[in-house]
Amino acid sequence: MQWSAPRNDGPSQAAGNTTGNTFIMSDIQYVAPRTLDEAIGAYAAAGSAARILAGGTDLLVQMRSGAVKPGLIVDIKKIGEMTAIEETKDGGFRVGAAVSGMALHDHPRFGKVWPGVLEAINLIGSKQVQGRASAGGNLCNASPAGDSVPALVAAGAVVTVAGPQGRRELKVEEVPAGPGRTNLKPGEIVVAFTLLPRPKGASDAYLRMIPRTEMDIAVVGCGVNLTMKGGVCTDARVGLGAVAPTVLLVEAAAKALIGSKLDEKALEAAARACSAACRPIDDKRGTIVYRTKVAGVLLRRATAIAAKRAQER
Amino acid sequence: MAKLHVSTTINGEPMEFLCEPNDTMLDALRGPLGLTGSKEGCASGDCGACSITVDDQLVCSCLMLAAEADGHELRTIEGMAQGEKLHPLQQKFLEQAALQCGICTSGMLVASDALLRRNPNPTEEEVRFWLAGNLCRCTGYDKIVRAVMETAAEMREAAQ
Ligand SMILES: Cc1cc2nc3c(=O)[nH]c(=O)nc-3n(C[C@H](O)[C@H](O)[C@H](O)COP(=O)(O)OP(=O)(O)OC[C@H]3O[C@@H](n4cnc5c(N)ncnc54)[C@H](O)[C@@H]3O)c2cc1C
Ligand code: FES
Ligand code: FES
């Protein structure tokens, strides 16, 4: 809630805004280019005062509170590549950075192949927020508690970014640098997520712990991605959110699962590995002890769901 | 600072307006467009009182820039009744007293309408989840959920 935020209705603005609920005034521009090259050009030229606008569900809240005062807003939703969901012939997916949660939900195939990634993205906010919020925005906002990020880390998603120096690819876990900070270079924009084709017997799941049942920020989030063959786990990836300054890839947990039948011993080892990876903070939503314990609990539960789904595929 | 000129369609009618680059759609609706049915409860995406649809997608108008409306089709609470004839949801909200102070009501109606357009036969759980982004300080939600369920049933019957 932003009622306590400073409001600064500059005189130049007052005439144009009869509700008076304007943001802090400075020269601000809005552009909605149709090509990626134009977007990169405008974004890079405007320097650190520029902000990319995808769904705006973080950016507009930050502008309203005065935390962010962009000089230039570059809306990327008119760029075809940014809002496209493409299933490749071999069964992989390429999801545009600005695709909304609702659009991904309505895709006839995506949720069947990547149920864990979809449920993570669909946990973001209300239906209204889903109508706008994107995985690209969730990643670039770089909250340690972003819900889609652990699931995309577990999925092994590759992020395509484009900037003044051209295109490059990063792993999802390489993008966040710390709370609110990314490893993107000046002028770089996230373009799309690529998810590889999956073998039969592979599936994923995402669970988060929140104090309420809806509309809250994760105390812990856990994404698990498994491949099962004849009851044995042949491949696994585990992503953990809200327990460290950035979302974590927990390789030790995956190692504990791989080669096992997901028996108690393997689950216990993987849960311990998750708890051991935690470097959480204490806050009103959860203590360090609680978050550390819950990380292991969610690993077990998410693994069970992913394994069940893998069996059915 | 130059104002932006926006051409859009609101409730089926072509509309044009001027806005600052950082005005929200809610600012534009309640300001220059004079459509004050959409309410500002929080201005941060939490309460849903500002709900509208953009190309049939339910969104919070407080989390959208006015400039983004250009070239899109918007629907607001003002487009719900056909002249004097209330939408079945509006009629049912009145009959069931699914509102008290009314601040949340236009958002509740727009969101419920968006749900029934997607899913004419929702379960109670689906209604409650769908409306989780619409906060009401007065009713305790039960009457709202019941009104939506009953309207859905009646609309299904009428459609047969
Ligand atoms: C009521 C409410 C509830 C919420 N609940 C949740 C929740 O449960 N879980 C959760 O994780 N989040 C939640 N959020 C936060 C927010 O909705 C998500 O982080 C969302 O995914 C942001 O996506 P967006 O497209 O709206 O991003 P935007 O607001 O458009 O952008 C976010 C940031 O990323 C930058 N950015 C966006 N796209 C790109 C790109 N392609 N390249 C480079 N930079 C980019 C922007 O400049 C901005 O700094 C909630 C927000 C609200 C208002
Ligand atoms: S005013 Fe937009 S969600 Fe509250
Ligand atoms: S009727 Fe008062 S907030 Fe819902």
CATH of the domain at A270: 3.30.390.50
Tell which of A143, A166, A195 closes a domain.
Answer: A195
Residue-range definition of the domain harbouring residue A163: 80-195
CB A151, CB A117: distance < 8 Å: yes
Same-domain pairing of A43 and A91: no
**ipTM of the shown complex:** 0.97
Same-domain pairing of A232 and A307: yes
* Contact: B32, A75; criterion CB under 8 Å: no
Same-domain pairing of A235 and A191: no
For chain B, which domains are there?
Answer: 4-79 (3.10.20.30), 88-159 (1.10.150.120)
CB A92, CB A192: distance < 8 Å: no
Task: Identify whether A267 is part of a domain.
Answer: yes
Task: Identify whether A177 is part of a domain.
Answer: yes
Same-domain pairing of A182 and A87: yes
Task: Identify whether A2 is part of a domain.
Answer: no
DSSP state of A285: T
Please write the tens of the pLDDT for every residue from B73-129: 999 999 999 999 999 999 999 999 999 999 999 999 999 999 999 999 999 999 999
Question: Which residues in chain A land under pLDDT 70?
Answer: 1-26, 214
Torsion of CA A293, A299, A302, A307, to 10 degrees: -150
Torsion of CA A174, A103, A82, A176, to 10 degrees: -20
DSSP state of A252: H
What are the CA-CA distances from residue B24 to residues A56, A57, B43 (Å)?
A: 11, 12, 9
Closest atom, ligand 1, to C-alpha of A101 = 21
| Amino acid A2: pLDDT | 29
Same-domain pairing of A220 and A287: yes
| Amino acid A15: pLDDT | 36
The HSE-up count of residue B135 (CA atoms within 13 Å, CB side) is 14
Rounded Cα distance, B91 and B116, in Å: 15
Q: Which of B27, B70, B133 sits opposite A17 (nearest CB)?
A: B27
Nearest residue in B to A59, CA atom: B63
Read off the CATH number of the domain in which A155 is found. Answer: 3.30.465.10
CB B4, CB B20: distance < 8 Å: yes
Same-domain pairing of A216 and A290: yes
Task: Identify whether A14 is part of a domain.
Answer: no
- H-state helical runs in chain A: 11-14, 36-46, 59-65, 101-105, 110-113, 115-122, 127-130, 135-141, 148-154, 251-257, 264-277, 288-311
A137 and B CB contact within 8 Å: no
Indicate the number of domains in chain A: 3
Same-domain pairing of A67 and A131: no
Tell which of A45, A75, A105 closes a domain.
Answer: A75
| Amino acid A286: pLDDT | 87
CB B78, CB B35: distance < 8 Å: yes
Q: Is the pLDDT of residue B144 over 80?
A: yes
Name the pLDDT band for B143 (thresholds 50, 70, 90): very high
| Amino acid A26: pLDDT | 55
Rounded Cα distance, B119 and B132, in Å: 16
Q: How far is B35 from chain A (nearest CA, A)?
A: 12
Nearest residue in B to A32, CA atom: B68
Q: Report the length, in residues, of chain B.
A: 160
Percent over 90 (pLDDT), chain B: 98
| Amino acid B151: pLDDT | 98
| Amino acid A44: pLDDT | 96
Name the pLDDT band for B20 (thresholds 50, 70, 90): very high
| Amino acid A114: pLDDT | 98
User: What's the burial of B158, exposed, middle or buried (CB within 10 Å: 0-12/13-18/19+)?
Assistant: exposed
Same-domain pairing of A53 and A160: no
Same-domain pairing of A183 and A262: no
Question: Is A71 strand, coil or helix?
Answer: coil
Tell which of A166, A195, A224 closes a domain.
Answer: A195
C-alpha triplet A243, A212, A64: angle, nearest 5°: 75
Same-domain pairing of A226 and A299: yes
The pTM assigned to this predicted structure is 0.93
Q: Is the pLDDT of residue B32 over 80?
A: yes
CB B46, CB B108: distance < 8 Å: no
| Amino acid A279: pLDDT | 93
B73 and A CB contact within 8 Å: no
Q: Report the length, in residues, of chain A.
A: 313
Same-domain pairing of A177 and A212: no
Pocket of ligand 3, candidates B46, B96, B103: which has the most ligand atoms within 8 Å of its Cβ, to mutate?
A: B103
Q: Which of A28, A57, A61 sits opposite B22 (nearest CB)?
A: A28
